[in-house]
Structure 1
Amino acid sequence: MGVLGNSSHLLRRRRETFMDWSKTKTIFIAVFLILDIFLLMVFFNKHSASQFEFIQEASIEDKLKSYNIEYEKLPEEVSEETIITAKTKKFTKKETDRLLNQTVKLSLNQLILDSYLQKPFKLGEEKLEDMKSFVESDVLFGDQYRYWGMNDEKNIAIFYQHYDNKKMFENKNGKLEIKLNNNGEIYAYSQTLLENLEENGKSESILSAYQAIETLYKNGLIKPNSKISNVELGYYTVVTELQVLSPTWYFKIKNGEKTERMYVNAFDGSIYRNEENS
């Protein structure tokens, strides 16, 4: 019995030792597994962070290139500009009397001038240049307008008033519409004008053209494979009633068959957009 008792006791001790080792081994495996998972998480977090930093640090040029977005050479200088104020002009009979060989009608509030030529004005081979010459010589305050583009559906050439050699984009109160007949001749025009244009407040730094494009990009307004053109700094009306105009970047963005006009306020980055038509 003594020998059997000792053998049984020894066997029990071995079992306990084996079980203790199994538990210890299981604990070690669990610890190493947790450690591996932790290290993997650290690695992936660092990798993701580095990728994020790369995206954040990528220049707007690289971002546009990666999405096959084309653009023309952009103005690089960053200037200082100021808000301007103006009021809508009322045309007078004394002014319209200076218009020869034209039948002129004024709206009731005298803010809109409509003129019909007694004889259509023929345009030569340099149609745009001839049109500009007509505007300067035969339209009241014609030297204050700049050509914008054609509305082919209505056969109308659009001009907008300018200040400091910058256009007042899509301003219905500073707009000139030159109307053409089926022979491509000027037969009439409609005109509005802003007056008493004044700079209001101190000049401040504005967004560059690159920063304005980046604003459009971050807001998802420039799709892959787009083309950006006609980049220009001008003025856009931000308060209609008082005619308050802010420096604004203009972009024409074409994607497939769709073309949009985008405007970015050069002070605060506000975005205005319109589908292309005059």
Structure 2
Amino acid sequence: MNWKRAKTLFIFVFILVNLSLVIIYIDKVNKSHINDSEDENAVNFKQEEIKIPDNLPSVKDLKMQLLTARSYDFSSFAKTHSEVSSEDSGATAKRDISSPVDVSNDQYTDLKSYVKDNVYKGKDYEMSNINNDKVTFEQTYNEYPIMNNNKARLEFSINGDGKATSYKQTAMKSIAPSDGANNDKKQVNSARSAIEALYYNRYLKRNDEVTNARLGYYTVVKEPNVQVLEANWEIKVKHADKIKTYYVEAVSDSPKIIAE
């Protein structure tokens, strides 16, 4: 055996191992500094006397991108479904329910079953708002709602007996990632970072309360038949006795905020 060569090889391996350990150590230190910096920059909402939900939605490893969608024309659908009529040049479907659906149960199971079994692409809609005379559903894409959009909505009229008697529906079709070289999927910012963006832009003030935060798609470009949908956080804030809704871009380092 060539001991001189073996000794040289041993020294070389030893140096490589030590270099690897140094690189791992530096990486851990850098990550620690980043985390410390994030903690230092985080808003202390309790100290600011601003209430936020204890359990915010998790977006770990979630990436989203711009979408393009077109309005669905119900004209042909109405011709093949005698109980359905179309309005607004086909953009809206309307139906009177011959056997009104009970909406008095806590989970609205009867109405949800009706939507699933009787409404055009009913599985793609989720309940979003309830009041005494109306129940609203929103169309979804990949299980995320298309928020605050009258082109992707299902509304039931409720009578005095707590039963759904009719509905109107709009829908989006051909929903797909927008064309363009800069439309790669991007990591979604956390709900807390969206709330902090509201704070830094002075939409959140002392004694305010964030009542809800949900992730979905919000329309940023509206044309007669085509829309561009962007991932947004919908944040509801209670200012004194009034609730206001804000939309915060979910994949931007400097998010744009829209107040409704």
Same fold (TM over 0.5): yes
Distance 1:74 1:61 in 2: 15
1:240 to 222, 236, 248: 222
Q: Which residue in 2 is equivalent to 1:141?
A: 121
2:138 to 160, 181, 191: 160
Distance 1:85 1:121 in 2: 34
Q: How big is the shift at 1:66?
A: 1.5
Q: How big is the shift at 1:57?
A: 7.5
Q: Within the alignment, does 1:178 sit opposite 2:156 as a pair?
A: yes
Give the alignment of 1:55-94 within 5 angstroms: 58-62=40-44, 64-72=45-53, 73-76=55-58, 77=60, 79-94=62-77
- Quickly say closer, same or farther: Cα 1:151–1:123, change in 2 above 3 A: closer
Q: Within the alignment, does 1:226 sit opposite 2:208 as a pair?
A: yes
Q: Residue deviations 1:168-211, cap 9 Å, x none?
A: 11011100101111111110000000000102231123322222
Distance 2:161 2:108 in 1: 15
Q: Secondary structure at the match of 2:204?
A: coil
Identity %: 27
TM-score normalized with structure 2 length: 0.75
TM-score normalized with structure 1 length: 0.71
Q: Which residue in 2 is equivalent to 1:272?
A: 258
Q: Where does structure 1 lack aligned partners over 5 or more consecutive residues?
A: 1-55
Q: Secondary structure at the match of 1:126?
A: coil
**Larger of the two Rg values belongs to structure:** 1
- Quickly say closer, same or farther: Cα 1:71–1:222, change in 2 above 3 A: same
Contact 1:78-1:207 at 8 Å conserved across structures: no
Q: Within the alignment, does 1:205 sit opposite 2:183 as a pair?
A: no
- Quickly say closer, same or farther: Cα 1:273–1:108, change in 2 above 3 A: closer
Q: Residue deviations 1:218-259, cap 9 Å, x none?
A: 111112122213211110000011310000011111132110
Q: Secondary structure at the match of 1:243?
A: strand
After TM superposition, the structure 1 stretch with the greater mean CA deviation from structure 2, 229-238 or 117-126, is: 117-126
The amino acid that maps onto 1:254 is: K
1:121 to 84, 101, 111: 101
Pairwise CA RMSD: 2.1
Q: Residue deviations 1:19-63, cap 9 Å, x none?
A: xxxxxxxxxxxxxxxxxxxxxxxxxxxxxxxxxxxxx9844341x
Distance 1:108 1:208 in 2: 39
Contact 2:72-2:91 at 8 Å conserved across structures: yes
Q: Secondary structure at the match of 1:115?
A: strand
Distance 2:64 2:228 in 1: 14
After TM superposition, the structure 1 stretch with the greater mean CA deviation from structure 2, 122-131 or 173-182, is: 122-131
Q: Within the alignment, does 1:251 sit opposite 2:235 as a pair?
A: yes
Distance 2:104 2:242 in 1: 32
Distance 1:167 1:108 in 2: 23
Q: Secondary structure at the match of 2:115?
A: helix
Contact 2:66-2:228 at 8 Å conserved across structures: yes
Distance 2:39 2:116 in 1: 49
- Quickly say closer, same or farther: Cα 1:205–1:117, change in 2 above 3 A: same
